[in-house]
Amino acid sequence: MNRIITISRQFGSGGHEIGKRLAARLELPFYDKDILRLVEENSHYSEEYLLENEEQVPSLLNGPYYGSGHTSFYPQISTDKVFFTISHVLKDIAAKGPCVIVGRCADYVLQDFHPLNFFVYASTESKIQRKLQQLKDNGQTLVTSDEMKKQIRYVDKQRAKYYEFYTDKKWGQPSNYQLCLNTTDLDTDKAVDVLLAYLKLIS
């Protein structure tokens, strides 16, 4: 595979692990949270600060410029600076060659690199069970299904707002991606098999 692959994903759909295993099977570099470490190394932002401010929209969300897809109409604030700094690092990564990148509007930021863009989604119940199992496997405190459902809804809404604010596109809209993958009835390896089969078909 000689193209950059981006993966956008609903919270709990398995997109991170799918991207990680896909990269391993393609023998490509994989980037997700470690992007923040690279940003920290190339800026004055700490990783903690980046975690707090990434995928956040400006406080002017409800103002007249919301959804414009442009940020030149108002003073640059912290969330803008984080977005543009991450975007710069993403472009540096992409310039080095093929890789797999999860999240961070990479499909939009890297559009000049003509990436293959995938969107991973699943049913609410499937996402709840997947996240609860992850907590259990990691020895973390379990929450109720209702609490996890609320968290999933919150995270997905934040991701959608963030994506739509900075890209002027609709998060999860099929036309933005080469392939949308429903993982409700797929485990991680089978999901990766589907993506690999697609990549083979278009190669």
- The confidence score (pLDDT) of residue 147 equals 97
- Residue-averaged pLDDT of the chain: 88
What is the tens place of the pLDDT at every residue in 9-22?
999 999 999 999 99
The total domain count for the chain is 1
- 184: CATH: 3.40.50.300
Of residues 192 and 83, which shows the higher confidence score?
192
Query: In three state form, how does the secondary structure of the chain look?
Result: CCCCEEEEECCCCCHHHHHHHHHHHHCCCEECCHHHHHHHHCCCCCHHHHHHHCCCCCHHHHCCCCCCCCCCCCCCCHHHHHHHHHHHHHHHHHHCCCCEEECCCHHHHCHHHCCEEEEEECCHHHHHHHHHHHHHHCCCCCCCHHHHHHHHHHHHHHHHHHHHHHHCCCCCCHHHCCEEEECCCCCHHHHHHHHHHHHHHHC
Task: Using pLDDT thresholds of 50, 70 and 90, give the confidence band for residue 77.
Answer: low
Q: Which domain holds residue 85?
A: 5-202
130 pLDDT exceeds 50?
A: yes
pLDDT, average across residues 34-48: 80
- Least confident interval from 40-49, 164-173, 191-200: 40-49
